[in-house]
Amino acid sequence: MSREPGTLSIGWSRIGIELKQLLRDREAFVFTLALPMILMLVFGSVFGDQELGPTGITFAQYFVAGMIASGIVYTSFQNLAIGIPQERDEGTLKRLEGTPMPKAAYFLGKVGQVCVVYVLQLALLIAIGVLLFEVEVPSTAEQWAALAWLSILGLTTWTLLGLAFSSVPKSGKGASAVVTPIILVLQFTSGVFFAYDQLPSWMQQLAALFPLKWLTQGMRYVFLPDSAAALEVTGSFEMARVAMVLLVWTLLSALLAWGFFRWRRRGDG
């Protein structure tokens, strides 16, 4: 008998399949990839020129940091928490379970899809910011390095949270009604749409429980000049703290994904 194909090679081929399905499905494409860019265009056009306090930083510069942090949430959490319930309803997961595909290959496919879409989105958001709103790209190696580790930790956490949360919606159809409001609330409270330091402090503290606030703060370190640290609540970007919180959330979300991810719909086996 010939050898069974390896998990890695099947996982690699699942990345391709996952990407094709996402990019060809109009709804998934708009929600996952296009939405942050549309928001960037709209907010950038309306408020882009306004300056934040006496720092001379434009809102567009502030907003691009928030949108990239949000982009992590869209491409991983929203994508999976809406897409997987749909796959469960359509029979994708049940079909896969009936084949010799190693289950790890399915997750590799999802992770690969999330990473590729995120990198694409990151490049497009920066391009839109630079070309249309005079956003400045990070100038130091430290900032680029921070962008890299923030992206890795953020994608890991939010991918695992997406896997865990995919068991919450009762059906694929209702999934976006459960998932989208959560993301919106987190965005409003985490300093994506508004300057975080202007929010009421109870809202700041609520948002500080969740990883989007810390991702956004880290992205501000990446995209804003050092002088903008004065706009932070503590007067610092607190990068060590950002890393700590994201690490803790990564561990927590791994436990949640481990405990809650399901292959079947409720009541099916």
**Which stretches of the chain bind another protein, using CB under 8 A?**
1-5, 9-10, 13-14, 16-17, 20-21, 24-25, 87, 89-92, 94-95, 97-102, 269
The residue (of 97 and 142) whose beta carbon lies closer to another protein is 97
> Least distance in Å: CB of 36 to another protein?
22
The residue (of 24 and 266) whose beta carbon lies closer to another protein is 24
Q: How far is the C-alpha of 264 from the C-alpha of 267, rounded, in Å?
A: 8
> Least distance in Å: CB of 97 to another protein?
7
The residue (of 5 and 53) whose beta carbon lies closer to another protein is 5
> Least distance in Å: CB of 232 to another protein?
43
The residue (of 54 and 269) whose beta carbon lies closer to another protein is 269
> Least distance in Å: CB of 263 to another protein?
10
> Least distance in Å: CB of 225 to another protein?
44
The residue (of 46 and 173) whose beta carbon lies closer to another protein is 173
Place of tokens 């068991």: 167
The residue (of 111 and 215) whose beta carbon lies closer to another protein is 111
Q: What are the residues facing 77 on neighbouring strands?
A: none
Phi, psi of 125 (to 5 degrees): -65, -45
> Least distance in Å: CB of 91 to another protein?
3
The residue (of 259 and 269) whose beta carbon lies closer to another protein is 269
- One DSSP character per residue, the chain reads -PPPPPHHHHHHHHHHHHHHHHHH-HHHHIIIIIHHHHHHHHHHHHHTT-EEGGGTEEHHHHHHHHHHHHHHIIIIIIHHHHHHHHHHHHTHHHHHHTSS--HHHHHHHHHHHHHHHHHHHHHHHHHHHHHHH-PPPP-SHHHHHHHHHHHHHHHHHHHHHHHHHTTSSSSTTTHHHHHHHHHHHHHHHTTSSS-GGGS-HHHHHHHTTSHHHHHHHHHHHHHS-GGGGGGSTTSS--HHHHHHHHHHHHHHHHHHHHHH--SS-TT--
> Least distance in Å: CB of 193 to another protein?
32
